[in-house]
Structure 1
Amino acid sequence: MLTGYSIAILGGDARQLEVIRRLIELDATLHLIGFDQLDHGFTGAKQEALDDVDPKELDAMILPVPGTNLQGEIDTIFSNQSIQLTKEWLEQTPEHCLLFTGITNNYLTNLTQETNRTLIPLFDRNDVAIYNSIPTVEGTIMMAIQHTDFTIHSSTIFVLGLGRVGMSVARTFASLGAKVKVGARKSEDLARIHEMSLESFSIKDLKQHTHDCDILINTIPAQVVTAAVIQNMPNRTLIIDLASKPGGTDFRYAEKRGIKALLAPGLPGIVAPKTAGSILANVITQVLIEEIGERGNE
C-alpha cells in the first residue's frame, strides 16, 4: 500500500488515467496537475495547478511519457494550462522524491542532476519496453492495413533495427505470412535474425535492398531512411517510422517522391491506452513500494 505517500501527476494522455486509478487503489495521496478539463474526477485525487501544490510534501512525481520539451514544458491533453518544471520548483521537493518519465532529454537529465533528484526513465527499462512492444506491434499492423491496398501476407517487409520493438515487429509480421527482411548493425543481431529464419542485411547496405520493398518499418532513432534509400523504393512503398521524434526518415524527400511515410511514435498510447497505462502503472507502483521498503529499513 502507498498510504500516506504523496504523489504529483503532471499532465499526460489517457495512459496516465490508468496510473491514477492504480495509485488510488493503493491509497496514495494524489495531486493531479493539468487535468482540469477531464470529463470525470477521481475520488481520492485532487485536481490542482502546479503553484497550488507544496513541493515539500511530495514523495514522487510522474511526468507524461514524453517527459518535458527542451524548455521544461509538459504537454497534457486534459488542460489548456501551461505546465513548466523548473529547477527552483524541483529543488524544493524532498531529496528522496522520485521523478518518473517515459523518456528523458538533455533538459530533464540536467535538471535532475543539478537538483540531485532521482530520475527514472521508464522506457529505458527492458521490462517496460518489451511489454510496450505488444501494443506497438498491434498498432503497426493497424497502420499497415489502413494505408495499403494489398495484404500483409506475401508482402516484402523491411524492419530496421532488432531492438526490443524491432524483434517483436519482425516476428509478428513473419507470422502473418510476410517475407520479412531485417536490417541491423551489430554482428550478433545479424546472427539472431538468421536464427529467427529471417533474411538479414547490414543497415549500411540498405539502399541496395529496397527495390522490392512493400512496407518499411523503422525502429532506429537516427536518420537511416535517407533520400538515397527512398530513391530506390517503388512508389507503392509504405514507410512506418516508430522511432521517437523526429524519426529516422527523410520525410521531405519521401513526400517529394510520392511515397507515404508516417511518423508513429507513442503508438501504445494511441491504439491501446488502457493496456499501455497498466504497463506503466505496474512498474511505477513496483518501484514505489520497493523504495518505501528500502526507506523503512534505513
Structure 2
Amino acid sequence: METGLEGIRVAVLGGDERELVLIPALARAGAEVVVTGYPPRPELAGIKLVDTVAGAVEGAQVVILPMPGTDDQGVVRAVFASEKVQITWEVFSRLAPGTLVIIGTAKPFLRQWAGKFGFRLVEIAEEDEVAVLNAVPTAEGALEMAMHMLPITIHGCEAFVLGFGRVGQVLAERLAGLHARTTVVARSRAALAKAWAAGYSTCAFGSLPAEIGRAQIVFNTVPAPVLTEMVLAATLPEVLIIDLASAPGGTDFQAAQKLERKAVLAPGLPGKVAPLTAGKVLAAVIPRIIRQNSG
C-alpha cells in the first residue's frame, strides 16, 4: 500500500465513478480526504462528506477537480450530486497561496485565477502517463461506439484514423487486429513512417480530400479543424465519423449536418466506458503528483 500523504488535507470536488476509485486510494495513502458532491456510499465509508465547495476546500492543501473539468461558469461534473457543484471566484480567492489544484483540463478562467490568487494549477489530461494509460479505454470505447452504430462489421471495413498520437496508435492497432483496412492520416513524415512501418496504409492531411472518399468509418483524434466542409463533402454519404478530440473536436459538425453525414463528438470515453480502469489510472498518478508537489 502506498503511503506518503500523511498530514495532507485533500478536497475532492464532484466527479464520477473514477473518483470512487481515487478517493479511497488517497485515504489509504494517509491523506485526510474531504469530498463534496456525493451522498453516503459504501466506497466512501470513513470519508468526510460535506455539502459545499467552501466547506470542502477550507484548510485544504490539495484540491482535486474531475478530469472533464468545469464548464465556463465553473460548474463541475458531479454525477452523484443532488445539487449543482460549482467553483466560484469568492471561494477560490480564499485558497492559501501555493495550494495545489489538480484537474484534467482547465478552462481559461481557472488559469487566470491561478495567476491572480497564487494557487498551483496542474492539468493532467495531457501528462504522458495519464494520456498513454487512458488511450486504451478511449480506443476500446470508440470501437464499441462504432460497432453499435455501423450496419457493417469492423472486419473488412475501410477505417481512417486521423492523428497518430497516443490514442491514434492504440486505435489503429486495435482496428488492424479486427482486420479493418486501416489508413492512418498524419502530418509529420515521422508519424507517417511509423504508421507505414506498423503495416498501415498512410495518407498525409494534404491528400485527405482525395483519399477519404473510400472511408466507411473515420476516427478523429486531432483537436484542430481537420474535417472541414470541403473534406466532409468528399466522404461517402453513409460514412460514420467519431470525433475523439476534446471539445469542440476537429469536425465541422454544422457542415456534417448540412451534408447529412453522421458525425458524433465523443470526448472523455475512459470515464464513460471503463470507469474502473480510468479510476485506477487516477489512483496511480494523482498521489504521485501530490507527493512531488508537497514540501
Normalising by the smaller structure, the TM-score range is over 0.9
Partner of 2:288: 286
Evaluate the alpha carbon distance shift between residue 42 and residue 120 of structure 1 in structure 2; reply closer, same or farther with a 3 A threshold.
same
- 1:39-118 aligned at under 5 Å gives the runs 39-40=41-42, 42-50=44-52, 53=55, 55-118=57-120
Evaluate the alpha carbon distance shift between residue 54 and residue 202 of structure 1 in structure 2; reply closer, same or farther with a 3 A threshold.
closer
SS at match of 1:119: strand
Structure 1 stretches of 4+ moved >4 Å: 38-41
Evaluate the alpha carbon distance shift between residue 69 and residue 61 of structure 1 in structure 2; reply closer, same or farther with a 3 A threshold.
same
Evaluate the alpha carbon distance shift between residue 51 and residue 101 of structure 1 in structure 2; reply closer, same or farther with a 3 A threshold.
closer
Number of corresponding residues: 292
Evaluate the alpha carbon distance shift between residue 289 and residue 214 of structure 1 in structure 2; reply closer, same or farther with a 3 A threshold.
same
Evaluate the alpha carbon distance shift between residue 191 and residue 54 of structure 1 in structure 2; reply closer, same or farther with a 3 A threshold.
closer
- Give the superposition deviation at 1:257: 3.1
Runs (5+) with no aligned partner, structure 2: none
CA distance in 1, matches of 2:232, 2:82: 39
CA distance in 2, matches of 1:115, 1:49: 24
Match for residue 3 of structure 1 among 2, 6, 11:
6
CA distance in 2, matches of 1:108, 1:172: 36
Match for residue 21 of structure 1 among 17, 20, 24:
24
CA distance in 2, matches of 1:226, 1:187: 22
Spell out, residue by residue over 1:275-298, the C-alpha distance to the aligned partner (whole angstroms, 9 max, x if none).
001101110011223334xx2xxx
- Give the superposition deviation at 1:51: 5.3
- Residues 157 and 179 of structure 1 are in contact (CA less than 8 Å); yes or no, is this contact kept in structure 2? yes
CA distance in 2, matches of 1:261, 1:51: 37
Spell out, residue by residue over 1:137-191, the C-alpha distance to the aligned partner (whole angstroms, 9 max, x if none).
1111111111112111111110111111111111221122111111112222222
Instruction: Say yes or no: does 1:220 pair with 2:222.
Output: yes
Evaluate the alpha carbon distance shift between residue 131 and residue 281 of structure 1 in structure 2; reply closer, same or farther with a 3 A threshold.
same
SS at match of 1:182: strand
CA distance in 1, matches of 2:53, 2:66: 19
**What code does the residue aligned with 2:194 have?**
R
What is the TM-score normalised by the length of structure 1?
0.92
**What is the aligned-residue RMSD (CA, Å)?**
1.8
What is the TM-score normalised by the length of structure 2?
0.92
CA distance in 1, matches of 2:53, 2:220: 41
Runs (5+) with no aligned partner, structure 1: none
- Residues 11 and 76 of structure 1 are in contact (CA less than 8 Å); yes or no, is this contact kept in structure 2? yes
Instruction: Say yes or no: does 1:181 pair with 2:183.
Output: yes
CA distance in 2, matches of 1:53, 1:123: 27
CA distance in 2, matches of 1:51, 1:123: 23
Spell out, residue by residue over 1:249-285, the C-alpha distance to the aligned partner (whole angstroms, 9 max, x if none).
1223323333221211011111100100110111001
Partner of 2:121: 119
Partner of 2:232: 230
- Give the superposition deviation at 1:56: 5.0
- Give the superposition deviation at 1:121: 0.8
